[in-house]
Structure 1
C-alpha cells in the first residue's frame, strides 16, 4: 500500500469517526431537550391541578360564607358617580 493511500485511509477514518461522534452527541442533546419538554409539561399540569383545586376550595368556602352571611350582587348596589 502506498503512502498516499495510507494517508487517505487515515484521514477518511478520522473524518468518519468525528462525524459519528458529532451525530451521537447531537442525538444526546436533542433527547435531553425533549425530556426537558416533558418535565416542563408535567410541571404545568401540576400547577394547573393545584389551581383547579384552589378554585374549587374557594368556591366551596364562598358557598359556606354565603350561607352564614348573604352577599348582595354588585348589580344591586348603586354605582358611584365619577
Structure 2
C-alpha cells in the first residue's frame, strides 16, 4: 500500500470518527435542551395555577363582600314578621329603631328603659355587632 493511500485512509477514518462523535454530542445536547423546556413548561403551568387560584380566591372574597353589602342595604326593605307575643314585638321594634343608632346610643336608651340585663337585649346587641363587623378573609388557596 502506498503512502498516499495510507494518508487518505487515515484521514477518512479520522473525519468519519469526528463526524460520528459530533453527531452523538449534538444529540445529547438537544435532549438536555428539550428536557429543560419541559421543566420550564411545568413550572409555568404551576405558576399559572397559583395565579388562577389567587384570582379565584380574590373573586370569592369580593363576591362575599358584595353579597354582605347587598344584604345590609336590603335589610331595611325586608318585611318584619308579625310578633307572636307583645314583648317580642316590642323587642323587634326596639332592634329596628336601634339598627340605625350607634352602639353607645343604643346602650343609653336601654339603660333608660331599665332592661339592660335581659337576655333578649344582649342577643340584639350581639346581632347588631355582627352586622357591623366585616367578615375575616379566608386563607384557602
TM-score (norm 1): 0.73
1:34-53 map, 5 Å: 34-53=34-53
Who is 1:4 aligned against? Answer: 4
RMSD after superposition = 1.4
Aligned residues: 70
Task: Give the drift of 1:23.
Answer: 1.0
Task: Give the drift of 1:40.
Answer: 1.3
Task: Give the drift of 1:58.
Answer: 0.7
Task: Give the drift of 1:6.
Answer: 1.4
Who is 2:74 aligned against? Answer: none
Task: Give the drift of 1:47.
Answer: 0.9
Q: Tell me, which stretches of 5 or more residues in structure 1 are unaligned?
A: 71-82
Q: Within the alignment, does 1:65 sit opposite 2:56 as a pair?
A: no
Task: Give the drift of 1:41.
Answer: 0.9
Task: Give the drift of 1:15.
Answer: 0.5
Who is 1:75 aligned against? Answer: none
Task: Give the drift of 1:69.
Answer: 3.4
CA distance in 2 between counterparts of 1:11 and 1:59 reads: 71
Task: Give the drift of 1:4.
Answer: 1.7
CA distance in 2 between counterparts of 1:40 and 1:50 reads: 15
TM-score (norm 2): 0.45
Structure possessing the higher radius of gyration over alpha carbons: 2
1:15-30 map, 5 Å: 15-30=15-30
